[in-house]
A and B are shown apart, each in its own frame.
Chain A
């Protein structure tokens, strides 16, 4: 019997929705757009987070050494290169490598406009590099006037073509290869050069390092090595594990810069709108069917049965509103990626989270709208 009433309430909920298809469709449209808004806001937030750590994703390391002046990827600072040699002998350290990062000007040779460009001085060993374009490019940097250009750089920097000349910090270079990074939030573009190339642009920098990459021996524990490094180094260097560095970077971008709040408020308002729309739909539904519900009560069905109809309707709205929103947001994400080069991605985690929010919207609006059912009194009707 309980199984059968459950089935009956589901069938009734579905029939109720199908009775007035046009209204059901607009309601679904409203919910879809509210969910789409949630997708957009969270997508931007995650893109901002991801965008801030793209540099670290490009390299393969377990622990990073940074200057005490390090604040964020756009303000790395540097420390004496000698610290790296010092670290190589710490137990648990398998290998070390330097990365140099500095910003300078890139001149678009056609328009003669300057843009700010982030220049990476790559380690000579490509095994430290994860980004495929950069990894393959290390071997292509034969001369000190060759560079690899980020093909996702801002259009103002001009078209990136292999073999074309480039001007960086007043020095003439040749584009020897391309890679994809797209850290559009910090500089207009990026270029990578060899250690000698870096010296060619920023003279007198060979004794400095921006990030010291450390690889931990297979049998060593990262946390233990981090502590050992902290103990053995003077305070001009700070030590982060890979995950701690990425977390710290995202926290700077999302918490210090107001990006986090902006999009969190957006999510909140979008969920509120979703609740209002769903509530509107459900409460009209309940008022329109109050007679039917009262009849059912008179027939001996309990409040619980009628609640269930409402809950199933809300669930159908939440699920069916979610699907077009997901499809739409895949399209909008693509458009935003093309227009703004923000790394917007629909990850399974994001999809699951937004689906959870849709269900939450549905529960809240149910609680608000179904109060009336209790008051549906058969005596009023007959």
Chain B
């Protein structure tokens, strides 16, 4: 029995590699099915991740905001006084107020105004971890200087550092470019100092959008949050950036039909993969029917033969997944470049597709194996 178990994998493997050209074709088919699944899952995650991108850029332990500011594109502000209340705790190292709005930035070439996500904070502070921003924040000490996202959609025209830029009808100076990225709601982001922002909206200076809290090292975030919770009115939400991210993603999933769109795509990819895999195994079995019947005549059990086919199926899944994974990386990279949607692979996401691939192949194996079990030695000889 031990010998037989040992024999099985090489047998399944050898049957697969018997015809190299056909194996290559089979792997190609499975790879494409894997690619469809990667693509659909990638778009699904990419859409959610892009919508929540900004939440991952908050560089603080806790973020305070009005309780009605339930997602990134809701504009309810809170009183600045709440930040002062929080700053009074000895555990707090720094509190940075952030203002957020929607401004119109004019494309200098076409003259068209484009709605743009705007962020502002006091000069010489940096509440965000945005690539390229830290070096630029000193520029914000000058009034009327703004920073712009180099990864914004190309609807703003060619923007050069040092040029003047029309924001809400005010001519400001473009001080520098940072790298953030656009999503389905926002085409671009502009950053400025609190003073410049207030000059433009002429709004209530006692209001802020978020307060980014940094705690002294060694302070337990959860315990401090509880303490702060007790001190602040219920109209204030206290969230970690990670909680903001998951809240944003669940909001996006609830409001946008992406789950349905890409979920259907994923199912179709899975079914296609199953059919392709079934076809491969079917041909494989047809070709080797004589050998299977011979094995049976030699006394190998139906269970053994079934094992061989299922192993062939699983091997196909594993072997087809590898180029699929490679192709998935390439596809994500290409699409990220083309669309600006953040698309990345995580071990967990790749694992989901791997498991789906193996299930798909083994399922096809179960359907295809019936023929082997029925293979009658008497028919062959």
Which residues of A are interface residues toward B (Cβ below 8 A)?
22-23, 26-27, 29-30, 33-34, 36-37, 40-41, 44, 68-69, 71, 75, 77, 114, 154, 156, 184-185, 188, 256-259, 261-262, 265-266, 269-270, 272-273, 276-277, 279-281, 283-284, 332, 336, 339-342
Contact = CB atoms under 8 A, between A and B. Distances in A.
Contact of A71 (B113, B261, B276, B282): B113
A265 B336 CA distance: 12
Nearest to A260: B339
Nearest to B47: A262
Contacts of A156: 254
A272 B112 CA distance: 40
B83 to A, nearest CB: 24
B114 interface: yes
A46 to B, nearest CB: 13
Nearest to A259: B184
Nearest to B43: A262
Interface residues of B, number: 47
Contact of B279 (A26, A33, A259, A270): A26
Given A30-B276, A40-B264, A284 B39 contact: no
Interface string B9-49: 00000000000000001101100110110011001000000
A284 B283 contact: yes
A282 to B, nearest CB: 11
Most chain A beta carbons < 10 A, residue from B25, B184, B275, B331: B275
B268 A269 contact: no
B275 A33 contact: yes
B25 A272 contact: no
A188 B255 contact: yes
Contacts of B173: none
Cβ-closest 6 pairs across A and B: A340-B257, A258-B339, A30-B275, A69-B113, A340-B260, A273-B32
Contacts of B265: 37, 40-41, 266
A342 B262 CA distance: 13
A283 to B, nearest CB: 7
B187 to A, nearest CB: 7
B28 A276 contact: yes
A75 B184 CA distance: 14
Given A26-B282, A27-B279, A34 B272 contact: yes
Contacts of A281: 279
9 contacts: A23-B283, A26-B279, A33-B272, A44-B261, A270-B36, A277-B29, A280-B25, A280-B29, A336-B261
Contacts of A114: 68
- With a 10 A CB-CB cut-off, give which of A68, A272, A276, A281 has the most chain B CB atoms: A276
Interface string B277-313: 0111011000000000000000000000000000000
Contacts of A29: 271, 275
Interface hub of A188, A261, A280, A340 (most chain B Cβ within 10 A): A280
Contacts of A265: 39, 331, 335
B199 interface: no
B261 A332 contact: no
A276 B28 CA distance: 8
A332 B260 CA distance: 10
A27 B43 CA distance: 28
Contact of A33 (B256, B268, B278, B282): B268
B257 A336 contact: yes
A33 B271 contact: yes
Nearest to B73: A116
Interface in B226-262: 254-257, 260-261
B155 interface: yes
Given A71-B113, A71-B114, A154 B39 contact: no
B8 interface: no
Residue of A27, A29, A154, A273 with most chain B CB atoms under a 10 A cut-off: A273
B255 A69 contact: no
Nearest to A33: B272
B113 A68 contact: yes
Contact of A256 (B36, B187, B275, B331): B187
B97 interface: no
Contact of B115 (A40, A41, A75): A75
B367 to A, nearest CB: 9
Given A69-B104, A154-B255, A256-B187, A37 B335 contact: no
A57 to B, nearest CB: 20
Contacts of A266: 39-40, 265
Given A256-B187, A257-B184, A262-B43, 13 more contacts: A29-B271, A30-B272, A30-B279, A154-B255, A256-B155, A258-B339, A259-B184, A266-B265, A269-B32, A273-B32, A280-B26, A283-B25, A284-B283
Given A37-B265, A340-B257, A340-B261, A261 B111 contact: no
A68 B111 CA distance: 9
Contacts of B68: 114
A339 B257 contact: yes
Contacts of B40: 266
Contacts of B115: 71, 75
Contacts of B153: 256
**Which of B113, B276, B280, B335 has the largest count of A CB atoms less than 10 A from its CB?**
B276
Contacts of A184: 257
A336 B260 contact: yes
A340 B253 CA distance: 11
Contacts of A68: 111-113
A342 B339 CA distance: 22
Given A281-B279, A284-B283, A273 B272 contact: yes
Contact of B341 (A36, A71, A258, A277): A258
A314 to B, nearest CB: 16
B322 to A, nearest CB: 17
A281 B276 CA distance: 10
A22 B374 CA distance: 15
B338 interface: yes
B122 interface: no
B278 A261 contact: no
Nearest to B258: A340
B323 interface: no
Contacts of B255: 154, 188
Nearest to B70: A114
A37 B268 contact: yes
Contacts of B268: 33, 36-37, 40
B340 interface: yes
Contacts of A336: 257, 260-261, 264
A114 B71 CA distance: 12
A59 to B, nearest CB: 23
